[in-house]
């Protein structure tokens, strides 16, 4: 199935959108669609060469402007320097997309304190650093109609074994989304989040499902729709949420996972494995409790 762009041409005209971790994976896919809709981009990450290559390719393909600045979101001074560089370049920022993350699977008892911090610092502290740096500036300049979009995961609300630092950090990002949606609404800043299920990217798959694991475990069978997400499907949702069409959406965390988390949650969902012929017998056996 081919997945197409959803919003009309020019839907993000004149918007300057900052995407942390925008040089790879889902951040890049969302950024590319924002460009297609008329936005200007500023992307950051730690690796300059990755950012520069991505920006050159995106500009060649989409014909719009992509500003790059290497920045480790764990470091507040670096985030402020990134923000100031974007402001010097574009003169304003309209949207902050907190997408940068770190993650890997591991039994928790095998994690060193440093390994725990590596993930929590990128996800929770990084999102806090960017939100604070860009938010304070909007508030001080008395600029309104600003948007923060955070990327969490479905297990931010359910929790998940083997990715405990990520689950803890993403839960904090969800709490920040809902808290500031209320507190900073008075400054004209709205906050939403997206909780994606599985969207194959090199960054995520190499750290969460390395080697043959996806084939061995048949990951798509965990999703009622029996497939992983397509990046364009996520980009469509992100573009809507940062656009003026979503101006009355504030404090929402939108799940996009093909029904994956509900499949794991519903009491009798395991009956999906029951074949048709057994349902005939079950139909008889359960009639009037016989």
Among 185-193, 194-202, 215-223, 263-271, the segment contacting ligand NAP (CB under 6 A): 194-202
Catalytic residue, candidates 33, 90, 155, 187: 155
Answer whether 207's CB lies under 8 Å from 103's CB.
yes
10 Å CB burial of residue 107 (0-12, 13-18, 19+) is exposed
Torsion of CA 53, 33, 45, 126, to 10 degrees: 180
The option from ligand NAP, ligand HXC, none interacting with 106 (CB < 5 to 8 A, set by class) reads ligand HXC
Sign for the pseudo-dihedral over CA of 150, 252, 254, 177 = positive
Q: What is the Cα–Cα distance from 71 to 82, expressed in whole angstroms?
A: 7
Q: For ligand NAP, which is the closer residue by CB, 102 or 258? A: 102
**For residue 202, what are the CA distances in angstroms to 26, 168, 207, 211, 234?**
10, 23, 9, 12, 16
Q: Where are the beta strands (DSSP E) in 118-252?
A: 146-151, 189-196
Q: Residue with CB nearest ligand NAP?
A: 203
Query: Which CB, 82 or 139, lies closer to ligand NAP?
Result: 82
Query: How many C-beta neighbours within 10 Å does residue 113 have?
Result: 7
Taking CB under 6 A as the criterion, the residue among 1, 63, 109, 112 binding ligand HXC is 112
* Residue 24 makes contact with ligand NAP by CB under 6 A: yes
- Our finding on whether 101 is near ligand HXC (CB under 6 A) is yes
Q: Which is nearer to ligand HXC, 203 or 259 (CB)?
A: 203
Among 31, 165, 172, 196, contact with ligand NAP (rule: CB under 6 A): 196
The count of C-alpha atoms lying within 13 angstroms of the C-alpha of 78, restricted to the half-sphere facing its C-beta, is 13
Q: Determine, following the binding rule CB under 6 A, whether residue 125 of this chain makes contact with ligand HXC.
A: no
Query: Residue 12 or residue 223: which is nearer to ligand HXC going by CB?
Result: 223
Looking only at residues 133 through 172 of this chain, which bind ligand NAP when binding is defined by CB under 6 A? 151, 153
Q: Half-sphere exposure of residue 272, counting CA atoms within 13 Å on the CB side?
A: 13
Q: Is 76 tagged catalytic?
A: no
Per-residue contact flags (x/-) with ligand HXC for residues 194 to 213, judged by CB under 6 A: ---xx----xx--xx-----
Binding mask 203-242 for ligand NAP (x = CB under 6 A): xx--------------------------------------
Residue environment code for 153-178, b if the CB has 16+ CB neighbours within 10 A, otherwise e: bbbbeeebeebbbbbbbbbbbbebbb
In angstroms, give the least distance from the CB of 281 to ligand NAP. 39
| N-terminal to C-terminal alpha carbon distance within the chain | 45
**Binding partner of residue 99 among ligand HXC, ligand NAP, none, CB cut-off 5 to 8 Å per kind:** ligand NAP
- Which of 52, 85, 90, 104 binds ligand HXC (CB under 6 A)? It is 104
The two counts, helices (H) then strands (E), for the chain are 12, 7
Q: Are strands 40-45 and 253-256 parallel, antiparallel or unpaired?
A: unpaired
Nearer to ligand NAP, 12 or 130 (CB): 130
Rounded CA separation 248/34 (Å) = 20
* Residue 103 vs residues 9, 149, 153: alpha-carbon distances, Å: 35, 20, 12
* Span of 8-16, 65-73, 215-223, 277-285 interacting with ligand NAP by CB under 6 A: 65-73
**Which residues are marked as active site?**
155
- Contact set with ligand HXC (CB under 6 A): 101-104, 106, 112, 114-115, 118-119, 153, 166, 197-198, 203-204, 207-208
């Amino acid at each position: 199935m081919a997945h197409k762009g959803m919003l009309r041409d020019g839907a993000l005209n004149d918007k300057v959108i900052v995407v942390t971790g925008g040089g790879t994976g889902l951040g890049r896919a969302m950024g590319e669609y924002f460009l297609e809709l008329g936005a200007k981009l500023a992307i950051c990450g730690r690796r300059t060469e990755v950012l520069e290559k991505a920006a050159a390719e995106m500009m060649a393909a989409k014909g719009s402007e992509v500003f790059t600045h290497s920045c480790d979101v764990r470091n507040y001074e670096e985030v402020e320097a990134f923000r100031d560089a974007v402001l010097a370049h574009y003169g304003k920022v309209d949207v902050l997309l907190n997408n940068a993350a770190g993650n890997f699977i591991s039994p928790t008892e095998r994690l060193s304190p440093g390994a725990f911090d590596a993930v929590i610092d990128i996800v929770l502290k990084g999102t806090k650093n960017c939100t604070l740096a860009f938010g304070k500036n909007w508030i001080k300049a008395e600029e309104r109609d600003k948007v923060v979009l955070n990327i969490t995961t479905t297990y931010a609300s359910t929790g998940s074994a083997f990715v405990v630092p990520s689950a803890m950090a993403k839960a904090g990002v969800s709490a920040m989304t809902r808290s500031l949606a209320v507190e900073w609404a008075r400054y004209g800043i709205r906050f939403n989040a997206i909780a994606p299920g599985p969207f194959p990217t090199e960054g995520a798959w190499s750290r969460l499902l390395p080697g043959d694991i996806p084939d061995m475990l048949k990951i798509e069978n965990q999703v009622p729709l029996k497939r992983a997400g397509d990046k364009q499907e996520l980009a469509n949702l992100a573009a809507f949420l940062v656009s003026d069409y979503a101006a009355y959406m504030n404090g929402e965390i939108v799940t996009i996972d093909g029904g994956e988390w509900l499949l794991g949650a519903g009491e009798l969902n395991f009956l999906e494995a029951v074949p048709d012929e057994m349902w005939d017998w079950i139909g008889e056996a359960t009639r009037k409790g016989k």
